[in-house]
Structure 1
Amino acid sequence: MRNKIYKSILFICSLLWFISCEKDLPTYLEYKDYSYSSTDENGGTWQPILIDEGAAINIGVPEDISSQSYQAEISAIKASTDEINAPQRKALTYWGNNAVVRWNEIALELIAKYNLIPGPNDDGSYTLPNPSDPNGPPAFPFAHPPYACRALAYLSVAQFDGLISAWHYKYLYNRAAPYQIDGSITYAYEPNDIPSYPSDGAVLARVSKKVLSAMFPLEKEYLQKLEDEHLESLLLSGGNVPSDISAGITIGDEISEIALARAANDGMKNAQAPKVVSDSIKAAAFERFGWQWENLEIPVRPVGLTPLFGKVKMWNVANVENVRPVPPPAIDSDAYLADVSILKDYADNMTEEKRSIANFWQDGLGTYTPPGHWNRFANEFMVEDKMNPLRSARTLAYMNMAIMDSGISCWDAKYYYHYPRPIQTIEGFKTIAGTPNFPSYTSGHSVFSAAASEVLAYIFPEKATLVRGWAEEAAISRVYGGIHWTFDATVGTDQGREVAKFTVDIAKLDGAN
C-alpha cells in the first residue's frame, strides 16, 4: 500500500516524535535551496479565495532603479551584507527560498505544543480554554484536530491570496532583485528571474505572524521574533530592498485583516457548546435513532469535543447537509454484529504490523494532529517538485480548505448520528489507542486523510496511488486501534473524498493549470 522504504523512514520519525522534547518535534524539513521548476509569471491572474483579484490591494508604483532613493537602498544592502554575522547566516539558511514551508512548520510546532487536553479541577469539573483569557488556566487554545485544521486553513488561504497579489504587482512593475541590478551583491539562494517588488517573503512573514498570533495568542512575542528574523533575512539575502519589504507588508496586513474577519464570524467561537446544548444534541439523536454515544473517558469531561463544529462555515461546500453520509448500521443489526466480530478478531489477533500501523497514524495528544500529518507530506512533495512560494501556497491552501471542510462534515455526522464507539457497546472490549471524547461515526482521521489525499492526488498526479493508499491505511489504522468501526473508516473515506471534490473543482478553474 505504500513504498516500504518511505514508510520506514516516516515510522522512525514518528517514534522519534514521541520521545523528543517540545522544541525537537520533527517538523523541520532539511533541504537545499533549489531552482524553481517554474516562476508562474501569470500567477497574478490566478483566482484568489478571499478577494476578487490580485489587484484588489493597492501598493503603489515603486521607485525607478535609477532614482536616488533606490540607489541609497542598494548601498544600504551592500553595507549590511558585508557584515553578516553567524546568527544571521544561520537564519538565512533556515528560511531558505521557500518560506511557505517554514511558516507551515512553525504552525505545526504550535499545534503540537497546544494539543493538550485541559486537566480537571480539584472538584472534578472542567474549565475550558478561554480566548479572552488565554493565560488561563487552562491555556488557550486546546489545539485539537478541528482547531488545528482551521488554523492551517486560514494561514494557507491568507498566504495564497497575499502571494497572488504580490505576483500581480511583480510582473506589472518588473523591478529586478538587487543582486541582478548590482553584480557586487551576492544572492544567498539559487538565482531566479522573479521580480522583487513587492517582496513575497515579506507578505508571508506578515500574514503568517498575524494569523498565527490570532490562533495562538500566547505566542505573539515568539512569532514577532520570527517575523523580524525573516524580514531581516530577506534584506541580507540580496533579494530585496526595504521598499520591496514595505510593499509586501502592506499586502500582508490587508490580507490578514480580511482572513481574520472571516475567522471571527465563521461560527468556531460557538463550536464548544455548553452542556445544555450538548445534552440536547444527544437527546435528539436518541429520539431519532434509539442510540447515543456515552463518553467513557476517566475522568469524564461533561461535554464532547466541539459538538457544533459541524455548524462552522465551510470554504467550498454550500450546505453541510448535502454531504452528510448515510446512517450507520442499527445497533444489533446484521451489519453491526458482523463488525463486532471483525473488531473482536483484530483485538484477539493483533499483529506487530497492525499495531505499527495504528501507532504510526495515531496523531494524538502532543502531536500536530491528523491534519498536520498531511501538511508534513505536502511540504515534502512541494520541495521535491521544486515549487516556488506561490505554487506552494496554492497547494497548502486547497489541501487545508478541503481538510477543514471535510472535518466540518465529519463533525456534523458525528453529532447528528451520535453513534456509540466499540468500547461502549462491546462488553469487555479494550482499545490500544485511547478513548476519544466525541462520537464514533464517521472517523475523523479517515475523513481528514481522504480529503487531503484527493487534493494531493490532483496536484501531484504521479503520487495519486501512493497518497490514496496512505489515506486508506490511515482509515483502517483507527479500526486496528479499536476506537472505530470499519464502517466509520470506509464511509469516512468516501465522505472525505466527496467533500474534497468541491475544492478540487474550484482549483481546476483558478487559472493555475
Structure 2
Amino acid sequence: MKTKYIFITAIIVLVIANSCQKDLPQYTEFKSYTYTENDETGGNWNPVLLENATAIDIAAPEVVTSTQYQAEIEDLKSKIANINGNQRNSIDYWTNNAVVRWNEIALELIAKYNLIPGPNEDGSYTLPNPTNPDGPPAFPFAHPPYACRALAYLSVAQFDGLISAWHYKYQYNRPAPYQLDESISYAYEPNEIPSYPSDGAVLARVSKNILTAMFPLEAEYLEKMENEHLESLLLSGGNVKSDIDAGVTIANTVSQIALERASNDGMKNAQAPKAVSDSIKAAAFERFGWQWDNLELPVRPVGLTPLFGKVTMWNVDDVESVRPIPPPALDSDEYRDDVEILKNYADNMTEEYRAIANFWQDGLGTYTPPGHWNRFANEFIVESKMNPLRSARTMAYMNMAIMDAGISCWDAKYYYHYPRPIQTIPGFKTIAGTPNFPSYTSGHSVFSAAASEVLAYIFPEKSDLVRGWAEEAAISRVYGGIHWTFDATVGTDQGRNVAQYTIDVAKLDGAD
C-alpha cells in the first residue's frame, strides 16, 4: 500500500509543480472600486430559489435618531478608534465586493480537495463519505462534477440573498454610518446604497454555510473567514451591528433552502456502486456494440459519477431533451478519419499544441475546468466594476449553466459509453493522463461552451474572446490525446445549447 500511495503522491506533486499561475486564484491586486451602477431596483429581480424577494421577512430598522441606533454608532466609533494592523489588512482584503473573495476561497478549496483517493492495500478503493469526512479518504474528492455543483449552490444562494437584501435596503433606506456621522471615515469608495440589511453580511454567512456543507473539514477555517469578513464590515464604517444581524438572518434562511435542494438533487447517488456501473456499461454495449473500458493504472472499478447525469438540473426540465446525437460507429469512415487526425497530432506535436493542452488541463490539484471559467468571470466583474448584486447574478447564471451542461455531458458519457482513443487506437498514448469516465462528449468542451455563452450574454463586448477561449479549451483535449475531435465539436454545441436555457431565464429576471 505504501508504494502505491507514494506513486500517486508523486503524480500529484508533478501536476501541482507544473500548473500555471492560473491555478492560484487569489487576486493580490484586486482593490475596492466605485460601482458602475447601484441597481436600485435590484430587489425586484426574480430570485432562483426564493418565491420572491419578500419571502424572508425583515423587520424595519430603528430610525437613525433613536437611542438604540445612536448607541450602535458610538460603539462602532469606539471599535474603529482601536483598530489594529491585522484588522486593517482584513478590511483591505475583503474590499467592497466580497462575491469575488468568497468565490476565490471556493476555488482554493476545490483545488485543495481535487485529489483522487488512493487504492487500499488489497487494490480496492474506499470512496469519500460525507458522513465520515475525515476518512480516509477525506471528503470530498472535488472533481469537475463536484466542483461545478458547489459553485452553483454557492452562487445561487448569494444571488437570492442579495436580491432580498436589496429589496429591504430600498424599502427602509437607512443610510450607512459614514453618511450620518462625518467623524466616521469609510474604508472604501462611497456609494448611495442603503446599509440595512448588510449585503456583506449576507455574503459572509451564506458563503460560510454553503461551503461548510460542501467542504466539511474546512468548517473552522470558513468560520474564521466569516468572522473576519463580518468584523471588517463594521470596521470599514459601512455598517452597524443591526445591519449585519439583518443580513445574517436573510443568509441563514437562503442557505437553508439551498442546502435542502442540494440534499435532494440526486448527487448523493451519483457515484454508483459497481453493480449499477456495470449495468450501465452493459446497456450501452447492447445498444451500440461498444463500451468504454478504464485503462488507468491501477484501475478503479467504477467510473467517475456514472449517475451525475440524473442530478436535478437548474433550468432544463429533461436531460434527454438536450442529449447530443450519437457518436460515429467504430467501423464508420468518420471514425477512421478521426483516428488519422489524432495520429497526426501525436506524430507532429508542436510546442503550441502542447502549451494549449497544458494550459487547459485543469487536472489534479487545480480548481478544475468550471473553476477556470469562474476565474475569468471574477476578472470581468472587477474590470466592469460591478456591485455585489450584479456580480452574484453573473456568477449564479454562469454556474447554473455550467452545472446543467455538466449534467448533460455526463448523461451523454454514460448513455453512449464511448471508448477513448487510447482504448481503440493500438499503441496510442496521451500527453494528458487517462480520465476515469467515457469519452463522448468532452467535459472541457461542454463546461467551457456553457460558461462562455453566459459570459458573452453578460459581457457582449467580450463575446468573441470568450467563445474563442471555449473552442481552444475544446481542441486542447484533442491535442492532449484525451478526446476525439467529435467529442470536442459536438460537446461545444451541446454546452451552447444547454446554456441557452439559462440565458433565456436570465433575460426575464428583470435585471436587463
TM-score scaled by length of structure 1: 0.96
Counterpart contact for 1:128–1:138, Cα < 8 Å: yes
Alignment of 1:153-302 (within 5 A): 153-302=152-301
CA distance in 2, matches of 1:79, 1:368: 41
Matching residue of 1:457: 456
CA distance in 1, matches of 2:236, 2:14: 33
CA distance in 2, matches of 1:119, 1:24: 26
Matching residue of 1:405: 404
Counterpart contact for 2:16–2:364, Cα < 8 Å: no
Count, aligned residues: 499
CA distance in 2, matches of 1:17, 1:429: 22
Give deviations 1:36-62, integer Å, cap 9, x for gaps. 000000000000000111111011010
Query: SS of the counterpart of 2:61?
Result: coil
Matching residue of 2:113: 114
Structure 1 residues 24 and 455: CA distance shift in structure 2, 3 A = closer
Matching residue of 2:362: 363
Query: SS of the counterpart of 2:486?
Result: helix
Matching residue of 1:317: 316
Query: SS of the counterpart of 1:112?
Result: helix
Matching residue of 1:125: 124
Displacement of 1:32 in angstroms is 2.4
Structure 1 residues 328 and 20: CA distance shift in structure 2, 3 A = closer
CA distance in 2, matches of 1:445, 1:190: 39
Given residue 28 of structure 1, which amino acid in structure 2 is its aligned partner?
Q
Counterpart contact for 1:115–1:365, Cα < 8 Å: yes
Query: SS of the counterpart of 1:258?
Result: helix
Given residue 257 of structure 1, which amino acid in structure 2 is its aligned partner?
Q
CA distance in 1, matches of 2:18, 2:386: 30
CA distance in 2, matches of 1:153, 1:32: 25
Given residue 17 of structure 2, which amino acid in structure 1 is its aligned partner?
I
Structure 1 residues 399 and 16: CA distance shift in structure 2, 3 A = farther
Alignment of 1:58-137 (within 5 A): 58-137=57-136
Counterpart contact for 2:15–2:364, Cα < 8 Å: no
Give deviations 1:208-260, integer Å, cap 9, x for gaps. 00000000000000000000000000000000000000000000000000000
Alignment of 1:41-52 (within 5 A): 41-52=40-51
CA distance in 2, matches of 1:382, 1:16: 32
Counterpart contact for 2:206–2:255, Cα < 8 Å: yes
Matching residue of 2:4: none
Q: Any unmatched runs of 5+ in structure 1?
A: 1-14
Matching residue of 2:9: none
CA distance in 2, matches of 1:231, 1:470: 37
Matching residue of 1:507: 506
RMSD over aligned Cα atoms: 1.5
CA distance in 2, matches of 1:508, 1:454: 13
Structure 1 residues 134 and 24: CA distance shift in structure 2, 3 A = farther
Structure 1 residues 428 and 17: CA distance shift in structure 2, 3 A = closer
Matching residue of 2:390: 391
Structure 1 residues 353 and 25: CA distance shift in structure 2, 3 A = closer
Counterpart contact for 1:17–1:25, Cα < 8 Å: no
Counterpart contact for 1:48–1:161, Cα < 8 Å: yes
CA distance in 1, matches of 2:345, 2:113: 33
Q: Any unmatched runs of 5+ in structure 2?
A: 1-12
Percent of aligned pairs with the same amino acid: 78
Query: SS of the counterpart of 2:247?
Result: helix
Given residue 457 of structure 2, which amino acid in structure 1 is its aligned partner?
Y
**Residue in structure 1 matching 2:16, options 7, 15, 18:** 18
Counterpart contact for 2:15–2:365, Cα < 8 Å: no
CA distance in 2, matches of 1:170, 1:131: 38
Matching residue of 2:495: 496
CA distance in 2, matches of 1:390, 1:17: 36
Displacement of 1:497 in angstroms is 0.1
CA distance in 2, matches of 1:20, 1:105: 21
Structure 1 residues 119 and 155: CA distance shift in structure 2, 3 A = same
Counterpart contact for 1:281–1:416, Cα < 8 Å: yes
Displacement of 1:23 in angstroms is 13
